[in-house]
Structure 1
């Protein structure tokens, strides 16, 4: 059962990451409503460096955020399906997805909206239940 919970939890994170990556590069769902905000982002650099604009950083942050979720999903689906013994035998590998999903859950609660929060909550519950089963 813990194997199924890990796969489901990871698949939810992967789906959220894939949808977010798609929205980053296709369509306008992640764009500000105000065209002036987009133009301001495109015309403004960061204090850190003048080598990029706020707009390019926005696209890059969204893409890298998506890739992180996809990476976690790819690793944990693979581990759960073909190397479950590694997860069972390692406190690190058994608790890491729970810790990561709790971090994402905190971010979703503080900064995002209902859909990613709900998906991440379900993912976190799957990882948490799996961790309890693995360590009882």
Structure 2
């Protein structure tokens, strides 16, 4: 039961971050540049790979898809922990995929983001790892 709670907490943190990030992507000024001229420039310049979009549209798309990844992680791992804990905690594949995803988010946060998402994702990762440890200890006792 403790393992499930820790996993749901880990997933819930990701889900919450993803939802807020998605809202901030399309509403309000929080993910816009402080310098309005930069947004104008990004709206006028295409990336090298194609002329079919602008850097600003890419910025919005990258932020939205990043949010969707966090939301998907939160929904899938939260659902698996609460409804199919046996499957989740006995699947090395699922546990490693989740660990790699959260580990990757921690690295991205450390390299490219700021302290609040780094702290939040680190807490999520700690809960995730603790849930695995608790579930493994429980399995060994059985």
Q: Which TM bucket (shorter chain)?
A: over 0.9
1:9-46: CA deviations, max 9, x gaps?
00001100111000000001000011110011000001
Residue of structure 2 equivalent to 1:118:
119
**Root mean square deviation, CA, Å:** 0.9
Any stretches of 5+ residues in structure 2 without a counterpart?
A: 138-142
TM-aligned CA deviation for residue 89 of structure 1: 1.8
Does the aligned pair in 1 maintain the 2:10–2:124 contact within 8 Å? yes
Does the residue aligned with 2:111 lie in a helix, a strand or coil?
helix
Displacement of 1:94 in angstroms is 2.3
Tell me the number of residue pairs that the alignment of Structure 1 and Structure 2 aligns.
136
TM-aligned CA deviation for residue 100 of structure 1: 0.9
Contact 1:98/1:131 (<8 A) preserved: no
Aligned structure 1 segments of 4 or more residues deviating by more than 3 angstroms: none
Give, in whole Å, the separation in 2 of the partners of 1:77 and 1:87.
Answer: 10
Task: Show the counterpart of 1:14.
Answer: 15
TM-score (normalised: structure 1): 0.96
Alignment of 1:27-46 (within 5 A): 27-46=28-47
Deviation at 1:133, TM superposition (A): 2.3
